[in-house]
Amino acid sequence: MPETKTDQPLEARIHQLEDDMARLRSELVQARLDQWEGRVDELELQMHLGAAEVTDRVSPRVEELRDTLRKARAQAQSAGATTADVVEALRTGFERAIKDLRDAVIKAKGSVKG
């Protein structure tokens, strides 16, 4: 059946609507990609904030470990200290410092999740 003049504007309008739908779908895809990019950026920011908080909590504990090690070295070098005294002081100090370090990391990790 041959097209009449009245069919042409309707067909043109249908093509226009199809083109509009394709454009809107493309815009929707771009908007969703932008949304996901924003989520990734937010996650990266949270990661950096969490890392900074972990550093703030862990650094003093690492310094305590270093201090314990310095004290143990000093005891080892002193004439009055026995090997057993040095080893016991070192073990006790390190166990406490490592527990504190572990607790600090767990607390920082918990605060990043919350």
CA distances from 33 to 26, 38, 74 (A): 11, 9, 60
pTM of the model: 0.50
Per residue in 34-48, pLDDT (tens digit) is: 999 988 888 888 888
Q: Which of 112, 110, 107 is nearest to 60 (CA)?
A: 107
Per residue in 66-111, pLDDT (tens digit) is: 887 787 777 777 756 566 776 777 777 777 777 877 787 777 777 6
CA angle 11, 13, 15 (to 5 degrees): 70
| Residue type present at position 76 | A
